[in-house]
Structure 1
């Protein structure tokens, strides 16, 4: 296997980052290293062989193959060739204020024979400029000059510009307050959920306190040595039931409101009742909450640090579920119950939800969607994300309060019997 030149290795790293950032390809350091190893097996001076090697490693679907070819031709294009137009794989969201800034902050191009217009002076930001109406008297209309104050003539050259700031967080830099006085009730609901899951038995024989299916001769003889060789106490072996594993995916978008904090407290209660719990929060991004919940003291209101783009913003359910399907590939097995806690209001591509859940449902023991909207009497699963997920769900259940969490084990049993 030949060595890849350093310049080509740097270009491949930049190319993989371009695929990931522009089109949402699920590419990480491992995929980049695989691409470099693939290039070591081909002739790096042959453009067709380089493209074929990278194409086989970095593309995962027919749509990605088409985008890869367009992006490869644009990135490694021949000198003087026109750059093709690339359609995005994921829908893009325009930043609010970008069009206003273009229309209001820029002057029209000068006509033939006219001098160029002077550069406009941007207006002060709304956060820095004082409120002109704050100190005005009550009888004075807002925006009108005070008596005796001269009004400056308007400056045609100074065109005010609008500046908008887009943040995916409802409260950037602030901690997430999820405190409440319902932790005892949530602990009882979590205990009932853990006890209700009937999993298979373990393969290995383990010592049991009560009578088991097989006699443990070694432990029985050791105990007989303490009673002058009489086996008065028999030791037994058995196959205990496997402990369930929970994977909780909590929607932290703005549309969830107070339901998101309730589900955070339930995740904390479930983590206190079972150590085999993984918790993720997602909005436009994804973050793992398991270490934070593990360090949270149970006797005080739950407070989490700023979760960034995973809390308080929009919703990208499909993209984040795909990330979980890749990052959680090892822990998810037939003993895993996946709980998706979301209202299903998604701004992303619903097809990605189906792709992610098809992979997770194939490996997990069960997939359940808990929706606050499902508690409404006339609820219908018409949300795009929920409709795409329905073929892969074991149950779609309501969760609008503590009572619904108490009823969750009974509803799960009824759904599985059906």
Structure 2
């Protein structure tokens, strides 16, 4: 326990893990005024800035690596942000936060959530960053309803998640757009959200990223767009927004924001996989009854061993399983890498043996919402069954409608070892035959 005094208009930088209790006075933290007897926590790896509104005394408990220090308020953005965000009418609004990585998008989202809660609104929150998702698992777009004050989005209960197969939006951005649109509708119509705040990923600089962000704005019918500016990273995006959107609000990024490198982000994702998959148990799933929706094995035309031997000789490849849908086929063979070969007018996607081992998958309900992340361990082609590892607490097996393959392979320690981009190529091939309908 450490008792500290803070004067009026003094600023504190607090690194978690930390617990703060206001003994007397008032602190402004993330859109909330905390008075005598109130307390809040700062999570490990997070930094927040608090402003003292008068002479205050606080009780500070720090965990390992936690830190609290007074900082120069002239270098902070609390007041600038508060003025800009307080001008937004929250009820019946849809607000999108845009910006590069590590500029404070999650913090702005948290402030807006708290301001909405202070107005007694049901605040719908969508985390649109599948790489660093705070509401749901990595590889998802997730949604929640906030009804109480928070210091971080991880404190929100996940209501809905849509599995988008990877953490790299550039490979699946159309699917991400559809997912965000679905969650907006769900929050409005099924969860009675009074306002919706959408936190986005940090992909903003290249032309495809800008196209993606503009499409989010259009699909969401956003009433307000908040762009957090650091250097010139969002200049091109702002040019495009100026002719498309109303109520674009530009605010500065914090000068002392924590910057996470690629390894930090990867470690955080892997901790997320562990959280949702450990401790684990195995499910045996009949793929004829609950198919892999983006690779519907055991639902196409199968060949006997004689035909397979002819195809093997024609392609000069050691294939041991093949299935066909129209002019597309999928084969499993003793090849080192994925490849596509042509035989007559049939395009054959050839997957390596054990291609499925360690692949991240989603168990989904009939509405394509995530029930559980899983790891595909093995497909048995003789029985049409798959073995999938899930968290031991998963108890909604009766709700599983299908499996969706992801594009990330993990090892037994839930560490990412491969981006399996050929899953997308297989999907494209099969979609050309109009067999992938959901």
TM-score by structure 1 length? 0.29
The structure whose residues are more often strand, as a share, is: 2
Work out which of the two has the higher radius of gyration on C-alpha atoms and give 1 or 2. 1
